[in-house]
Amino acid sequence: MRRQLLPLLAWVALALLLRWAVIEPRWIPSGSMLPALQLNDRVLVEKVRVRLHRPLPLGSVVVFHPPALLQEAGYDPSSALIKRVVGLPGDRIEVRDGRLVRNGEAVAHDWNAEPINYSLEPLTADAGQLLVLGDNRNASLDSHLWGALSDEQLIGTAVWRYWPLGRFGPISSAWARR
């Protein structure tokens, strides 16, 4: 019996270690990332880059714990949100005339399906911060409401959709810096 139990315990320990340090499954609880991610999609979140403090490229889809402002409004600190990185440290983001503007230039491909129905005064990410917006900009709790996101809140980057099978594949994050 012991000979059978030890390998099983080793596999369980390895699975828990991988989930804690490398990759973990998550689901999309809202429509804030439409059209790229649908409600109830299941994604894999890669955690190594964040743990090693490696820079994230523009367009990365990040999963993070709610910032302090949302926690004060009642969000569970252990819950997770998902948004797209639109500004890196030193970038200045604003919304003018329904368009996302980064460092004074309109962003040609901003993952948004419709014009943004709010304006945003220029907001700059400092070192150790990112600016994040949902792809469904008009229905998203994101940096336009609570400011820059601290790197300390990051859990990882969403890299692969595994459910539903009809949309199985990598999550697009390619976004040329303009």
The catalytic site residues sit at: 32, 83
Q: Mark residue 11 as left, alpha or beta (left: phi above 0; alpha: psi -120 to 50; beta: remaining).
A: alpha
How far is the C-alpha of 34 from the C-alpha of 107, rounded, in Å? 18
Could you list the beta-strand ranges (E) of the chain.
23-27, 42-46, 61-64, 81-87, 92-96, 99-102, 105-106, 120-124, 129-133, 149-150, 154-163, 169-170
- Kindly give, in sequence order, each residue whose CB lies less than 8 Å from that of residue 23, ignoring residues fewer than 6 positions away: 44, 45, 46, 47, 156
